[in-house]
Amino acid sequence: MSLNIREERQKRALTGLSEKKFNELLPVFTKNYQEQKQRTYQQGLATGQCQRKPGGGRNSKLKEMDDKLDFILYYLKTYPTYDQLGERFDLARSSAHDQVKALLPILQATLADLGVLPYRQFESVAAFQALCQELNLEQILLDVTERPRQRPQNSDQQQECYSGKKKRHTLKNLVMTTLKKMIIFLGQTQGGRPHDYTLLKEAFPPESPWFELITLLVDLGFQGIKTDYSGDEIHIPYKKPRKSQKNPEPQLSDEQIQANRALSRLRILVENALAGLKRFNILVYPFRTAFS
């Protein structure tokens, strides 16, 4: 059973992609799907567990490749339970789960082939600087995004995932974007307890000159970055001084206020990039998918 899509607006609402982007994705997705089927068949022959050729056996209810791509995009966009997903595509709950498990790696491989996945880590400073030169980057934006997750049963995991900022259990990722709202780096997923600046130091150890050749724009969650990291073009907002007996009504100067506003106008772009990601409800609703 396929999605009954009547117009472009509905296509975006149900899959998160326009018809044009969907059609760009489909041939690469089809190639990766067929290659995976062939690999599974060859492995089955080698182990004696499979004799049926690819395409044999009972026909899937997701008959065409565009049905399969619609299915996995719909799952990511709306993030239904498997019961809801199965009802929508006329599948049993277990079949809906199996389809997600099979198709999600194929979609990931497709996005990797198209070169649109962000880096998850950099092997060296030279590799990071080479990417900046390849993309002709002069300024990059840095932020951390959080999403809720189910409360862990294990007490240690509860502590690791509890975010004092959000007052709930969350998952965090460090995100690096360009001024064109392209996400070039997505840090490893961690529980919500670590501070934003801790995530930066783990992904980009301050002993190395990561940001010497580029302008870096951050928010007040990265206090200490100008001290710990080398680079003349690291910009962070001015923080209002603490109240004291000598300064009972601390205020920023007019110049500092203007500098903060100018930085904020640029940094809003990283929020726009994250908002674009969170059109997919799997990144918005409490995360319930099994992970390691």
- What pLDDT was estimated at residue 57? 63
Read off the pLDDT band of 1 (50, 70, 90).
low
- What pLDDT was estimated at residue 241? 85
Q: How far apart are CA 156 and CA 169, in angstroms?
A: 12
Given 113, 143, 169, which residue is the final one in a domain?
Answer: 113
Count structural domains, the chain.
2
Query: How big is the chain, counted in residues?
Result: 292
What is the percentage of the chain residues whose pLDDT exceeds 70?
95
Domain of 148 in residue numbering reads as 125-283
Token pair for 58 = 């009972």
- What pLDDT was estimated at residue 56? 63
Tens digits of residue pLDDT in 184-219: 999 999 999 999 999 999 999 999 999 999 999 999
What is the CB-side half-sphere exposure of residue 32 using CA atoms within 13 A?
20
Which residues are CB-neighbours of 47 under 8 A, at least 6 positions away? none
Tens digits of residue pLDDT in 123-162: 999 999 999 999 999 999 999 999 999 898 899 889 999 9
Residues 33 and 153 in one domain: no
Tens digits of residue pLDDT in 35-82: 998 888 787 777 777 666 666 667 778 889 999 999 999 999 999 999
Signed CA dihedral, 163, 167, 173, 178: sign only: negative
Residue 159 in any domain: the answer is: yes
Which residues are CB-neighbours of 154 under 8 A, at least 6 positions away? none
Residues 213 and 273 in one domain: yes
What Å distances lie between residue 245 and 238, 242, 253, CA to CA?
Answer: 21, 10, 19
In 3D space, the residue among 111, 119, 118 whose CA is nearest the CA of residue 21 turns out to be: 111
Tens digits of residue pLDDT in 99-130: 999 999 999 999 999 999 999 999 999 999 99
Residue 288 in any domain: the answer is: no
Residues 130 and 108 in one domain: no
- What pLDDT was estimated at residue 5? 85
- What pLDDT was estimated at residue 23? 95
- What pLDDT was estimated at residue 292? 37
- What pLDDT was estimated at residue 106? 96
Token pair for 283 = 């990144």
Residues 86 and 146 in one domain: no
Checking if the pLDDT of 247 tops 90, the result is no
Given 52, 86, 113, which residue is the final one in a domain?
Answer: 113
Residues 140 and 81 in one domain: no
What is the percentage of the chain residues whose pLDDT exceeds 90?
75
Across-strand partners of 190?
172
Residues 87 and 135 in one domain: no
Q: How far apart are CA 258 and CA 95, in angstroms?
A: 57
Read off the pLDDT band of 291 (50, 70, 90).
very low
* Average pLDDT over all residues of the chain: 90
Tens digits of residue pLDDT in 5-33: 889 999 999 999 999 999 999 999 999 99
